[in-house]
Amino acid sequence: MIIINLKGGLGNQMFQYACGRAISLRNEEKIKLDITGFERTKNMDTPREYYLSHFNIFCNEIASGGEIQILKYPLGIVSKGWRFFKVKILRQFNIGFIPKIFNAKKSIYLDGFFQTEKYFIHCADTIRKEFSLKEPMGQAAQAVASKISKEPESVSLHVRRGDVARNVATNPYAGITTPEYYRKALEYIGSKLKKPHVFIFSDDPKWVVENIKISFPSTVISSSGIPDYEEIILMSQCRAHIIANSSFSWWGAWLNPRPDKIVIAPKQWIRKMQWRHKDTVPKSWIRL
């Protein structure tokens, strides 16, 4: 059995599930999910919740406390000490590609971020299918989907502010996707597409409108009436993508199955320890 420790926002949960699902397919193992961590974020600045139930994922079965305890701490206090040392001292978060994970022949507790398609590119069709919505989109999202479908050169542009903007001094993801980055990305798009229409996705659309000059026709999408899991599908329906250094817009671009899609990503994914993200951005995507 594989127990996947889900944590973080929607994009991170998708990476964690996709990695676990790929291992389960290769090793023919059952999957269960550990969602106990979301309870601990309720009083934090950025509370998180379990989102994957909105998708057609293969397994929505939640692991029991006993099952988690057995796989997470097989050696009891020794396992707890080792996990503490790895995370707090060594700062190992399992972000990049770890090939030996596929060698596991027994039950495992999968804990990390696993932010690379290298884990699941061999079963990409399955992952895309399972990350389709279980229920029809709401009215607001359907209206946007209709508009995107009428623009053959639609471009999703994602700007992440929120928790990043609030902690500029300490957040390692802050200060990467500047207005200058978006200017270069839009210039590149203009050189490749004749009549682009930009669909803006952001948790701070007012900042985008005031700080990023867009010379093409554009539409601001982000709305309280469209939940994150519908926004990520709407992004995937666009022809091209300008993403932030965010797992959310990463998935919005990756779920687009078109072989001729254009995806632009920031050259620098994180301010510190960039090497941890050397596998994050697919080689076919444009780095600016």
Tell me how far apart the alpha carbons of residues 177 and 200 are, in angstroms, rounded to a whole number.
14
Same domain, 263 and 145: yes
Same domain, 80 and 178: no
Domain finish residue from 86, 103, 130: 130
Query: Could you list the pLDDT tens digit for every one of the 288 residues in the chain?
Result: 999 999 999 999 999 999 999 999 998 889 999 999 888 776 666 678 999 999 999 988 999 989 998 888 665 555 556 454 455 433 556 888 999 888 877 789 999 999 999 999 999 999 999 999 999 999 999 999 999 999 999 999 999 876 555 555 545 555 568 999 999 999 999 999 999 999 999 988 899 999 999 999 999 997 668 999 999 999 999 999 999 999 999 999 999 999 999 999 999 898 777 777 899 999 999 999
* Per-residue confidence (pLDDT) for residue 88, from 0 to 100: 45
Tally of domains in the chain: 2
- Burial degree of 244 (CB within 10 A; 0-12, 13-18, 19+): buried
* Per-residue confidence (pLDDT) for residue 170, from 0 to 100: 47
Place of tokens 């994922």: 57
Tell me how far apart the alpha carbons of residues 185 and 183 are, in angstroms, rounded to a whole number.
5
Same domain, 52 and 11: yes
CATH number at residue 191: 3.40.50
Same domain, 59 and 159: no
210 in helix, strand or coil?
helix
Domain finish residue from 75, 98, 130: 130
* pTM, to two decimals: 0.90
Same domain, 99 and 187: no
* Per-residue confidence (pLDDT) for residue 92, from 0 to 100: 54
231 in helix, strand or coil?
helix
* Per-residue confidence (pLDDT) for residue 135, from 0 to 100: 96
Tell me how far apart the alpha carbons of residues 208 and 214 are, in angstroms, rounded to a whole number.
10
Same domain, 223 and 86: no
Domain finish residue from 81, 112, 130: 130
Place of tokens 């996709």: 18
Domain that holds residue 218: 139-287
Same domain, 186 and 49: no
